[in-house]
Structure 1
Amino acid sequence: MSAYPIDRIRADFPILAQQVRGKPLVYLDNAASAQKPNAVIDTLADFYRRDFANIHRSVHTLGERATARYEAARETVRQFLNAEAVEEIVFVRGTTEAINLVAQSWGHSNLKEGDEILITAMEHHSNIVPWQLVCQQTGAVLKVAPIDTHGELLLEAFERLLTARTKLVAVTHMSNALGTINPVERLIDMAHAHGAKVLVDGAQAVPHLAVDVQALGCDFYAFSGHKVYGPTGIGALYGRRGLLEAMPPWQGGGEMIRTVTFEKTEYADPPYKFEAGTPAIAEAVGLAAAIEYVQGIGLEAIAAHEHDLIQYATERAAEVPGLRLIGTARHKGAILSFVVDRVHPHDLGTFLDHYGIAVRAGHHCAMPVMDFFRVPATARASFGMYNTREEVDLLIYALKEIIKVFS
């Protein structure tokens, strides 16, 4: 087995070469947004220089080239998720928009008073609020499966909450606040046994884990481009073709129609039915470049590298006086959330920045998780394919120095 090419990978990300406050940048905020390799930056620049035009409506050369690259990007996403058909891939702005699309289209059409939606206590706000909204609109009821003090889902409690009234289960593949990796295939099987549909929030999973939607058996799967080393403002929703065909559009406008008169509109087939207006064309092309870059490194290799980093970081964190980890699941991704005695997480984030270290501090759009662990916020170091053990050492050193100030 060849060694992990960390030096080549780091050289591919030009932003990592800079200094922050006179220190080499240590970027540990990948769960919020990952940095972009030259392959993505160059693809975006090349597209705008050579091929940009609006798509699907033009017969001129630039329009045809732009359309071809946009639809090729859809095929790249299809292969990335192993969806059965390209019609099952809808381009959206990101995971948040994908979940809102399902909530307002599928949910509004299929839910009625007394029906239930089941989520978990570790969800991001984007997998909570859209369901609250659709419950208010339809009379459906939101149920929440509990977690334990390690940040693991209580599977027996989850299964007990599944009933004939459960119409949809929406669950994160990997928690952004805790790093917990849920056994989604098992959860999907449980939900389907009760006749429920399943949406998986894959925003945190796809940069770190190989995802096969056919093997998982989910009905919907959503992810964001900016977390998988691609541009912002682009993501994808996978939906089973039959479900997408039966769902009404949730936005109206150009492109999502077949014919329009003042009396009646006939809608296009999926995925175009859900892509009203001019889409994020260049961003979709850039997303394809990001996926191809990740696949060139290999998700198995990336996962192994990141697993080593989180194990090493967890061991080193034990050396820091007063540090408590929030999220210690047996199966977790490369996320280290923590609090430190006498130092607010926001102060930790500010002080770490003076060492050139970028971490996230706050509730991470997961306020119910913070409430469960009885903390106002956490500091979160999240690792990506380009991070190193040396950067973990710098993080631990900086934390020890900061704590001395507060001792």
Structure 2
Amino acid sequence: MELAVYSALKTYSNVHRGTGHNSMVTTELFERARKIILKYLRLNEKKYVVVFCSPRRYKIFKVQLKSFNYFVVSSKDFDLPFGIRALAVKKKYLKKRSVVYTGGGMIKHVTANYIVWADIPERFEAGTPNIVNIIALAKAIQLVNQFGKIFNKKLRYLVKTSKEILYNDEMLEYSGLKLLHKLRKSLIGHDVRVPTEKTIKKFINLDNAASTPSFLPIWNTYRTTLMQPNEVHKEIIEEVKHICAKFFNAPSDKYEVIFTSNTTEAVNIVAKNLTIHKDGLRPVVINTLLEHHSNELPFRSIPGVSLIRVSVSDEGFINLDELKMLLNDYNHTHKYGNKRVQLVAVSGVSNVLGTINDLKSISQITHQYGASLLIDAAQLVAHHKTDLLGTNIDYLVFSGHKVYAPFGSGALIVRRGELTFDTYELNNIKSSGEENVIGIATLGKSLLLLRRIGFDVIEEYERKLTELILDGLSKMEDVEVFGVKKLSSGDLDKRSSIISFSMKKVPHNLAAKEIAEYGGIGVRSGCFCAHMLIQQILKVQKIRAVGARMTSIIIPAKTGMLLPGTIRVSIGIENSETEIMYFLQIVRQIISKPRSNVNKILARIYNGAATLPKTHAEERIKTYVKSVVQKIF
């Protein structure tokens, strides 16, 4: 099983999102896992579909289901500490069910007033699933069917302490920039070569904002943890809580660390915590137009909760004066009667524009008017120092798969006293996240490595690469960059390593396809689960938003292609100057090609192409994907 998981990690990326080779491979592996589980259950895939859940999501979801309409496979059935429930449900029955959690990856189109949900099963898989462990579970099922077991008993339970597992590694003598370079060389998948238009090239991942790859010390933590008994697993959970507390300056007497399956689940837990006060006050949540769907949609679905949005500039900065005015109107002058702002929920870093928001000012304003503050730190944790106590943050949410630990664990770090769940419900929440010991251990290891490198080193390293991209793109006449773009800007230090841009003559989805086919480079195009922000920065008229909605209903297969969007590159510590220079070379090659008038018009209005050309490179990539999947399954 380890060999299969390692192979999957070598070509890992997020599913159903990126345009690169790795995203295609991982998506195919993920979908193949559904089929393997249906085969194991001896169910007809024409009648049934598999939905992957965390233990908590499964408990909530099964209330809607009748026992004769679903079957469930648990990672616990195979003695695997993954925290997975694979729910096989009749398709015709599932279509009529309500979503359990809301967030990214489960919609086709969103505006401030409506949601067009994705098809099944994605509609019920909010946020990034536990992808790698789901692939591992499917492989385990195959091994059990073939050999009757997963583990070699002689290798199982070579017991180590939690501190040995988490703190020791082959790079212990290194720190700072030396450790960063050592980790880069240990990148799992650094030697992967992929087919392109003319030749075989080294794959380059520039889609770190969607999900991050992993490194050898983190993988070794995975392997060792898998072989430990329950007693050591319990120790690991507690030790990683201590690691999180130190990493985020969230002392245990003031904050509690609660493990979740991802950022999305963490936000949904906070949303469920909102209640109508006994004295009749009705809760209000302040959001912004900057937010990822995972930090916006959960608050729409809570009965009795009002959601209002603060405006942002086209560079992605929150309007602090407007935030202060709204808080004053609701919580001081009581302009809106019995409504009170209970929570301000904002992103630390925009997943579209890379904007780093002024969290200290936001926190000061929020607490001045008696509200609590939630920070979506999904794009923050791997790139910038985060200080909960110093910034006075009440809730912080993030995912391991954005911090080089793509094994299905995330966290909600919450100020003690903020959560109002009863003891039974709170224990259910905690036990659900803690079942994925593998995810927790690798998350802890990743945070330790980042701390040993130091965020002064990480920020400087990634800033140089970001400036290299901005400088290169700004010199191309047929490219438009969004957000803070000028190297001379006084706000450049408020920009993280995420860059969105468009090509003035090439539709965004065609451009992303060609970046993969010409260069072997993985990027992403579209709206990035932030539709409202994309509509603002691209100046999309309301009539087009209505048109996109109708398209998603009438021609659902074309929804993604007909939505306005951009191209996004996002940097991680595994990237290099050589890779950035090569990426810029490929962009120049793409914009120099002659284009049809139709494509020029579509690009001018930031639209995707309705159809993409079939190419020889595409066929080569399909063959490559098929061969990788066959080796694993």
Would you say same fold, with TM above 0.5?
yes
Aligned pair count reads 372
Aligned partners of 1:40 and 1:230 also within 8 Å = yes
> How much does 1:2 deviate?
7.5
1:187-225 CA deviation, whole Å, 9 max, x = no partner?
011011111111110110000011110001011111111
Aligned to 1:168: 343
Residue of structure 2 equivalent to 1:144:
309
Q: Does 1:309 align with 2:309?
A: no
Q: 2:183–2:216: 8 Å Cα contact kept in structure 1?
A: no
Q: How does 1:146-225 map to 2 (within 5 A)?
A: 146-163=311-328, 164=331, 165-225=340-400
Deviation at 1:237, TM superposition (A): 0.5
> Which residue of the partner structure matches residue 401 of structure 1?
589
CA change 1:338–1:298 in 2 (3 A) is same
My pick for the range that moved more, 94-103 or 289-298, is 289-298
Question: What is the CA–CA distance in structure 2 between the aligned matches of 1:173 and 1:2, rounded to whole Å?
Answer: 24
Pair 1:248 & 2:248 matched:
no
Q: Deviations over 1:140-174 (max 9, x none)?
A: 32111111222222222222222313221001000
Contact 1:33–1:227 (Cα < 8 Å) also in 2: yes
In the alignment, the residues of structure 2 paired with residue 223 and residue 110 of structure 1 have an alpha-carbon distance, to the nearest angstrom, of 28
Q: How big is each residue's C-alpha offset from its partner over 1:38-92, in whole Å with a ceiling of 9 and x where there is no partner?
A: 01111111111x20xxxxxxxxxx2211111122112111111111107600000
Question: SS state of the match for residue 303, structure 1?
Answer: helix
SS at 2:447 equivalent: helix
Distance 1:406 1:328 in 2: 29
Q: Distance in 1 between matches of 2:234 and 2:342?
A: 37
Contact between 1:320 and 1:396, CA under 8 Å: does it hold in 2?
no
Partners in 2 of 1:144 and 1:293 — Cα distance?
37
1:349 aligns to 2:516 (yes or no): no
Q: Distance in 2 between matches of 1:110 and 1:204?
A: 33
Aligned match of 1:82: 249
**Aligned mates of 2:180, 2:591 — CA distance in 1:** 31
Letter in 2 for 1:402: I
Inter-partner Cα distance in structure 1 for 2:503 and 2:402: 27
The reply on whether 1:39 has 2:207 as its aligned counterpart is no
Q: Distance in 1 between matches of 2:266 and 2:510?
A: 34
2:193 maps to which residue? Answer: 19
The one-letter code sitting in structure 2 at the alignment partner of 1:125 is: H
Equivalents in 1 of 2:500, 2:481: separation in Å?
Answer: 6
Q: State the 1:110 CA deviation.
A: 4.8
Q: Please give the secondary structure, in 2, of the residue aligned with 1:104.
A: helix
Distance (whole Å) between structure 2 residues aligned to residue 267 and residue 77 of structure 1: 24
CA RMSD after TM alignment: 2.1
Change over 3 Å in CA distance of 1:369–1:75 after alignment to 2:
same
Partner of residue 323, structure 1: 479
**Corresponding residue for 1:372?**
536
Cα displacement (A) at 1:349: 1.3
For residues 243 and 7 of structure 1, do their structure 2 counterparts lie closer, same or farther at Cα, with a shift above 3 Å needed? closer
The 2-side partners of 1:38 and 1:9 are apart by: 8
1:389 maps to what in 2?
577
- What CA distance in whole angstroms lies between the structure 2 residues aligned with 1:214 and 1:395? 40
Please say if residues 316 and 350 of structure 2, whose CA atoms lie closer than 8 Å, have aligned partners that are also in contact: no
How far 1:180 moved relative to its partner?
A: 0.4
Q: Secondary structure at the match of 1:174?
A: coil
Q: Is the 8 A contact 1:343 1:406 kept in 2?
A: no
Gapped regions of structure 2 (runs ≥ 5): 1-174, 332-339, 486-490, 541-563, 596-633
User: What's the offset of the Cα at 1:6?
Assistant: 5.4
State the Cα deviation string for residues 118-149 of structure 1 (Å, max 9, x = none): 11110000111011112xx01x3211111122
In 2, distance between residues paired with 1:2 and 1:38?
Answer: 17
Letter in 1 for 2:424: Y
Deviation at 1:385, TM superposition (A): 0.9
SS class of match (1:15): coil
Identity %: 28
Question: Residues 205-259 of structure 1, C-alpha deviation per residue, up to 9 Å, x if partnerless?
Answer: 0000111100010111111111011123101111111223xx115xxxxxxxxxx
Check whether the contact 1:179–1:327 (CA below 8 A) recurs between aligned residues.
Answer: yes
Q: 1:115 to 1:104 in 2, by over 3 A?
A: closer
Conservation of the 8 A alpha-carbon contact between 2:177 and 2:453 = no
The CA deviation at 1:7 is 4.0
Query: Letter of the aligned partner of 2:191 in structure 1?
Result: A
Q: Which amino acid aligns with 1:366?
A: A
Q: Distance in 2 between matches of 1:302 and 1:317?
A: 23
1:5 Cα deviation from its structure 2 partner = 5.7
Deviates more, 1:284-293 or 1:322-331: 322-331
One-letter amino acid of the structure 1 residue matched with residue 390 of structure 2:
A
Which amino acid is 2:409 matched to? Answer: I
TM-fit CA distance, 1:351: 0.6
Separation of aligned partners in 1, 2:276 and 2:443: 31
- When the two structures are superposed, what TM-score results if normalisation uses the length of structure 1? 0.87
Q: Name the residue aligned to 2:290.
A: 122
Deviation for aligned residue 1:276: 3.7
Alpha carbons of structure 1 residues 3 and 89: separation in structure 2 relative to 1, 3 Å: closer
Structure number with greater Rg is 2
Cα offset, 1:3, TM superposition = 5.5
* One-letter amino acid of the counterpart of residue 310, structure 2: A
Letter in 1 for 2:236: R
- TM-score with structure 2 length normalisation? 0.56
Q: Where does residue 13 of structure 2 map in the other structure?
A: none
SS of alignment partner, residue 17 of structure 1:
coil
Q: 1:243-322, aligned counterparts within 5 Å? A: 243-244=418-419, 247-248=420-421, 267=424, 272=427, 274-277=429-432, 279-322=435-478
Match of 1:358 in 2: 522
2:198 equivalent to 1:30: no
Shift of 1:273: 5.4
User: Any idea what SS the aligned residue of 1:65 has?
Assistant: helix
Q: Contact 1:82/1:212 (CA < 8 Å) preserved in 2?
A: yes
Native 8 Å contact 2:188 2:213 kept in 1: no
Counterpart CA distance in 2 for 1:79 and 1:172 is 22
Q: Tell me, what secondary structure is at the counterpart of 1:9?
A: helix
SS at match of 1:169: strand
